[in-house]
Amino acid sequence: MATITVVGGTGYAGGSIAREAARRGHTVVSFSRTVPEGDARIDGVRYETGSMLDAEARDRAVTGSDVVVSALAPRGELDGRIVEADDALAALALERGVRLGVVGGFSSLRGAEGAPRFAETGDLPPEFASEALQMNEVLTHLLGSQDALDWFFVSPAMQFGSYAPGEALGRYRVGGEVALFDEAGVSAVSGADFALAVVDEIETPAHRRAQFGVAY
């Protein structure tokens, strides 16, 4: 069993990952600025508070963990500062020998082998562009990081998020840098099934220093 810290563990992606990791019996610690009350708390998750823009909180988040999953989003105070937060988590993870997973976006995937990442085409819907570009910059920094940093960057399907939580089907497919679509041409995954893939990757690492995608 591992000690897994989910930074942003009260959010949509992070909460799904924390729930699945706790269900499997891992020691799970969530970090966010505020903690949920009552039923919104997941049994078996320890809730800690702190901003990942704060060095002391980042230190607490990484210390003692086997794997840190950053499920922060470039919104609110992290809009324009997510790269700084994830870079700092990566530096600490490198120093402490902790594995780092980052939940990024669909737009960091490619449409085909050798094609640019969607985020690099200059052709993103304006409502997603800023978020996509910021998460893609996080990926670029990971790709250029020192070899000793053990990281993965996971891109969910296009239809993923609190607006479309979906159902737990108990299945998923994993792809590399190229986006996966089902036979109907749809790219989707529920929060619960996305979390299965992430916790499977934590338990049995298959993508060291690599990006992967998760979809049905």
Ligand X SMILES: NC(=O)c1ccc[n+]([C@@H]2O[C@H](COP(=O)([O-])OP(=O)(O)OC[C@H]3O[C@@H](n4cnc5c(N)ncnc54)[C@H](OP(=O)(O)O)[C@@H]3O)[C@@H](O)[C@H]2O)c1
| Smaller CB separation from ligand X, 126 or 147 | 126
Does position 195 bind ligand X by CB under 6 A?
A: no
Smallest separation, CB 76 to ligand X (Å) = 6
Q: What is the Cα–Cα distance from 45 to 187, expressed in whole angstroms?
A: 30
Read off the amino acid at residue 131. E
Smallest separation, CB 86 to ligand X (Å) = 9
Residues 108/119, Cβ–Cβ less than 8 Å: yes
Does position 160 bind ligand X by CB under 6 A?
A: yes
Which of residues 23, 24, 47, 51 is near ligand X by CB under 6 A?
51
Q: Residues 6 or more apart from 30 whose CB is under 8 A from it?
A: 5, 6, 9, 10, 14, 15, 18, 42, 45, 46, 47, 48
Does position 154 bind ligand X by CB under 6 A?
A: no
Does position 105 bind ligand X by CB under 6 A?
A: yes
Does position 188 bind ligand X by CB under 6 A?
A: no
Helix, strand and coil content of the chain, in percent to the nearest 5, comes to 35, 20, 45
Smallest separation, CB 211 to ligand X (Å) = 13
Sheet holding 173-175, edge to edge: 45-49, 27-32, 3-7, 67-70, 99-103, 151-156, 210-215, 173-175
Smallest separation, CB 40 to ligand X (Å) = 11
Does position 53 bind ligand X by CB under 6 A?
A: yes
Note the residues at the interface with ligand X (CB under 6 A). 8, 10-14, 31-34, 51-53, 71-73, 75-78, 103-106, 131, 135, 156, 158, 160-162
